[in-house]
Amino acid sequence: MRGLPKEATQSVVDGNHGSPYDVLGPHSDPHIAGFAIRTYQPYAAKVDVVIKAGDRVVSMKKTNKDGFYEASVPDLKEPEYRLRMTGFDDHVWELEDPYRFPLQVSEFDLYLYGEGTHYRTYQKMGAHAMKLDGVDGVHFAVWAPNARRVSVVGWFNRWDGRHHPMQQRGNSGLWELFLPELKEGDLYKFEVKGQDGYLIEKADPYAFAAELRPRTASVVWSNDKYAWSDSKWMQKRKKTDWLAQPVSIYEVHLGSWKRVTEDYNRWLTYRELADELVPHVKSLGFTHIELLPITEHPFDGSWGYQTIGYFAPTSRFGSPDDLKYFIDKCHEADIGVILDWVPAHFPKDGHGLGYFDGTHVYEHADPRKGQHMDWGTFIFNYGRNEVRSFLLSSAMYWADIYHIDGMRVDAVASMLYLDYSRKDGEWIPNEYGGRENLEAVDFLKKFNEIVHAEYPGFQTFAEESTAWPMVSRPTYLGGLGFGLKWNMGWMHDTLEYFTKDPVHRKYHHNNITFSLLYAFTENFILPFSHDEVVHGKGSMLAKMPGDLWQKFANLRVLYAYMFAHPGKKLLFMGAEIGQWDEWNYQESLPWHLMEFDSHQKLQWFLSNLNSLYKGSPALYEQDFGWEGFDWIDFHDSEQSSVSFVRKGKNPEDLMVCVFNFTPVPRMGYRLGLPTGGNYEEVLNTDAEQFGGSNVGNAGVVVADEIPWQGKDHSALVTLPPLGAIYLRPKK
């Protein structure tokens, strides 16, 4: 047997060798027409090579006191063998030698990954159960470009990083290793040793599953077991233009929608949520469920917005297949699923992405670009090819593997601006001296281009609070490429208006009309989100002024105004039951309120409103252009009333929407109308069935040939107190 330099042996023993395939495993030796086999087994007193072809056993020689063994096996054509260990307690066991199996990541994969154009890196990176040379095991791959050594560790090797060092693939920064006889469910991490002696255990950035916090190990998981039954939904989605369809989203935090109080206040599982949440959303008439981030995260109080596992659904509610079951049931109920996704920043937890190999690889090294001081998190380095591949692959993963129908990208404004929430001197200008994060802009454009090209009918939403232009315009026109943008200005102005006592609203009339000056500059979605019912802002019902009756009336007219206003809709959970307290992520929604008549009727109202919305093309077909909207009167500040017409693509599809934001009924209120004939009062928020006082128009309004408010026809109508009416021409 040809000698091996002692420094190579010692490098393996010391856990410093970055290319263990050069030392360990079988090595062809032409002098013996066979192989030299080497292994490192510090917990074995004796090691033998068991040749698979026949009963041949070759004893290995211990060449290093710390457990390095070598053997020459002459006349061996193929290195097919097992290692037989005898422990210091005479216990005997056998295992496969990981270093006799071929590497799996191709040169082409490495090239695309390094170029930043590998958009499905999850097919190669992370942990993949597979069969190699007839042996079951798990292949691992991770990116750690500046590490001295990376090892796979777990119970299978006593969490000892000396056991299974991974092979570094040239200058790619990628490390890989196949570990035979591992299986789904096994826990693992990567032990990373930096150039300066930095040593830490990291969770797998590409892990498909993870332990329940506070434990932090990754879990081997296979994504090919679940049998989907949503082909009908997926085919329909491909042909659907959601911009011309009703979109009414129920935003939900799975950990606090409902809890099992009698079982230690535990969460519902994904499967229990499929049985309870999905029928609830279906009965309310929402078209989509939006999930606050369910990507794995260590801290409950972040609500999921500080992500560790960009490929792992949180284990709080069950297994990855349980989540697939939940999504499947949503699709079966004709409900789309939108995932909150956070490519803007990530937490500093030691097992996460930060300082991954002893250097800043996922984040910028300079805190002026690499850290959010307000949030105590790291910012991704969007200019690094491997980071772009990581994030873009995460987006593709959720669409591919979990059949997600859309993504709401959180904190887009913080990505777009280098000076976001920073003082002078705390940020670095771009190459042109500006404040725009050009690398993040390019990343967002690429994200939108890819998902829209790969998944027809997939929708993207930008939570963006500034005046950045063309957020929801195609990239070929110079936009960011999002399908929809959250209208934060509308949300702020509308809630500011509605929190005013009605007697003062006439002085703030601009708050309720200003949004129409910019309503069609973007494809807007109108949100009343979780952010508006926390941190002292009060619940939606508690925001409303007045006595009990007025609070509920205000909330009904607010929702009616929202559903009539151009733009798609989003409501946070609890809005349908009228909770009094702020949302608390540690508690269930106050479902006991449904014992009370006023809360029952509010839920019934919202269900009816969603049903009317979905059945009225005038309210959704032309949300993003003036052709779908026409003012009747926006001047009546004295009576705090506004009125307008919504129009569908068919000229006959019209909806007249009138709002009285005071508790004073308006009798004999002359209203301009776009056509003559009879109008149905298809919605009256003051109807008794909704908890109102039943002031209205007895279901019918007759138009007179009296010009008014710029219209050829008009009618005398009754506007209910703190109420809205929708009028539709009778066909």
Q: How far apart are CA 412 and CA 416, in angstroms?
A: 6
CA distance 393 to 57: 46
Encoded amino acid at 290, one letter: E
| Cis amide bond preceding 721, omega within 30 | no
Q: Give backbone dihedrals phi and psi of 135, rounded to 5 degrees, phi first.
A: -115, 130
Pairwise CA distance, residues 687 & 52, whole Å: 82
Other Cβ atoms closer than 10 A to 78: 12
CA distance 372 to 355: 15
Report whether 346 contacts 354 (CB < 8 A).
yes
Q: Say how far apart CA 282 and CA 519 lie, in whole Å.
A: 29
Question: Phi/psi at 597 (nearest 5 deg)?
Answer: -60, -45
Q: How far apart are the first and last CA of the chain?
A: 95
Yes or no: say if 681 and 696 are a contact pair by the CB < 8 Å rule.
Answer: yes
Rounded CA separation 660/639 (Å): 8
d(CA 144, CA 152): 13
Q: Is 725 exposed, middle or buried (0-12, 13-18, 19+ CB in 10 A)?
A: buried
Q: Residue 523 and residue 622: Cα distance in Å, rounded?
A: 10
Contact status, residue 283 vs residue 354, Cβ threshold 8 Å: no
Helices (H), 228-366: 231-238, 270-284, 320-332
SS3 label, residue 104: coil
DSSP secondary structure, 143-203, as one string: E-TTEEEEEEESGGGTT-TTT-BPEE-TTS-EEEEEEET--TT-EEEEEEEETTS-EEEE-
Neighbour count for residue 454 (Cβ, 10 Å) = 14
CA torsion through residues 70, 76, 81, 86, sign = negative
**CB 18, CB 142: distance < 8 Å:** no
Structure-token pair, residue 720: 């209910």
Largest CA distance in the chain: 108
Strand, coil or helix: what is 437?
Answer: coil
CA–CA distance, 284 with 485 (Å, rounded to integer): 24
Q: What single letter denotes the amino acid at residue 321?
A: D
Residues present in the chain in total: 731
Q: Which residues are catalytic?
A: 410, 463
How far apart (Å, rounded) are the C-alpha atoms in residues 231 and 225? 16
DSSP 8-state secondary structure symbol assigned to residue 535 = T
Nearest to 540, CA basis, from 501, 579, 497? 579
